[in-house]
Amino acid sequence: MKLDIIQKLKEHDLKVTPQRLTILDTLNRYGHASIDEIYKEVKKVHLSISLATVYKNITSLLQVKLIKELALNEAKSKYEIIKEPHSHLICKKCGSIEDINLSEQIEQNASKLASAKEFAAEETELNIYGLCKNCKQNN
Amino acid sequence: MKLDIIQKLKEHDLKVTPQRLTILDTLNRYGHASIDEIYKEVKKVHLSISLATVYKNITSLLQVKLIKELALNEAKSKYEIIKEPHSHLICKKCGSIEDINLSEQIEQNASKLASAKEFAAEETELNIYGLCKNCKQNN
DNA sequence: GTGTCTGCAAATTATTTGCACGTTG
DNA sequence: CAACGTGCAAATAATTTGCAGACAC
């Protein structure tokens, strides 16, 4: 599993440094994390890492599209490693994000909508906002 | 049409000031605009408006949910007035955003996905990334 | 009139950059 | 060893805040 990522890094001439791996590992474990969250996590392992390094890594990882930015209304942006699925259930109350897989039907319908506008669709992202199971109960 | 917005402002105890109306008008005309774009536009009408005022307005309009933030990978956030539809065709090349209406089918499928996770869906947002008609041709 | 809004300046926070040194391949 | 990455400090950019006067209601 790590090999996968290491390979992708090499493909894009990004060196495999411990800091970079820890950042990616953090994203893997968190699913989605903000710059601050990443910084705090990585710091547990690499005491002397700097915020600048986190930013530089996020920037280069975004450029080679190994990760993507998830910008949520009102909250700080979070980042996640790109892999299927690209879709989320986003809780308006607690801010949790759960990944979901798009059904074939949705994919197909989305393509239709796009081609109707002569738009060449490459990626489809569905975000559903509402209340997660927990918050729904404790409302 | 303006009455609609004015009413919403009043509902939320936001005063109807010329600056605020011009900001909303800009969003209406642009569809989606960044802070800078809004600032430059509003400045044409209100020569002495300050950036801080734009920020303050965006913040309060977000709070009362009259507008929403559209955060796009790599690009600056843009804002739009909330109204159906919530879905977009986003061009990766030129950054243009076109609104689309979700089909009934997609809405239904999305609800299914959500309820399978015991998630109470409130809003569904579909973003399709790719190349717009123009950029597709001049590729 | 009272409370909110505006514009300005200053403060704070977020992000980027330059550089010397260390590490990867 | 060449290219790239890191950590630090400093520079920029983005956003927020405080306050006095102006405006909406």
Domain positions in chain A are 2-81, 86-137
- B72 vs A109 pLDDT, higher one: A109
Chain A residues closer than 8 Å to B55 by CB: none
Instruction: Name the CATH topology of B2-81.
Output: Arc Repressor Mutant, subunit A (1.10.10)
Say which range, A13-22, B64-73, B116-125, has the weakest mean pLDDT.
B64-73
Instruction: Say how far B54 CA is from D21 C1', in Å.
Output: 19
Confidence (pLDDT) at A68: 83
Helix axes A2-11, A18-30, angle to 10 degrees: 130
> How many Å apart are CA B94 and CA B96, to the nearest integer?
6
Closest-CA residue to B70 (of B125, B136, B4) = B125
Strand D bases with any atom < 7 A from protein Cβ:
3-10, 14-18, 23-25
For the cut 70, the answer to whether the pLDDT of residue A2 exceeds it is: no
Contact, B14 vs B20, CB < 8 A?
A: yes
Residue type, B1: M
* Residues within a 7 A CB radius of strand D: A 13-15, 17, 19-20, 46, 48-50, 52-53, 56-57, 60; B 10, 15-18, 35, 51-52, 55-56, 59, 76-77
For the cut 60, the answer to whether the pLDDT of residue B74 exceeds it is: no
Centre a 10 Å sphere on the Cβ of residue A8 and count the other Cβ atoms it contains: 17
Confidence (pLDDT) at B3: 65
For the cut 80, the answer to whether the pLDDT of residue A78 exceeds it is: no
Give CA B83 to chain center in angstroms.
Answer: 9
CATH for A86-137?
3.30.1490.190
Confidence (pLDDT) at B18: 96
Give the model's confidence band at A138: pLDDT under 50 very low, under 70 low, under 90 confident, else very high. confident
Q: Which residues of A102-113 are buried (b: 16+ CB within 10 A; e: fewer)?
A: beeebeebbeeb
Q: B93 is written with which tokens?
A: 């090349």
Beta B78-81 vs B67-70: how paired, if at all?
Answer: antiparallel
> How many Å apart are CA A131 and CA A133, to the nearest integer?
7
Chain A residues closer than 8 Å to B106 by CB: 106, 109-110, 113
Nearest nucleic acid nucleotide to A53, CA to C1' distance: D6
Tell me which range, A38-52, A60-74, B108-122, is most confidently predicted by mean pLDDT.
A38-52
> Looking at the whole model, is its pTM more than 0.75?
no
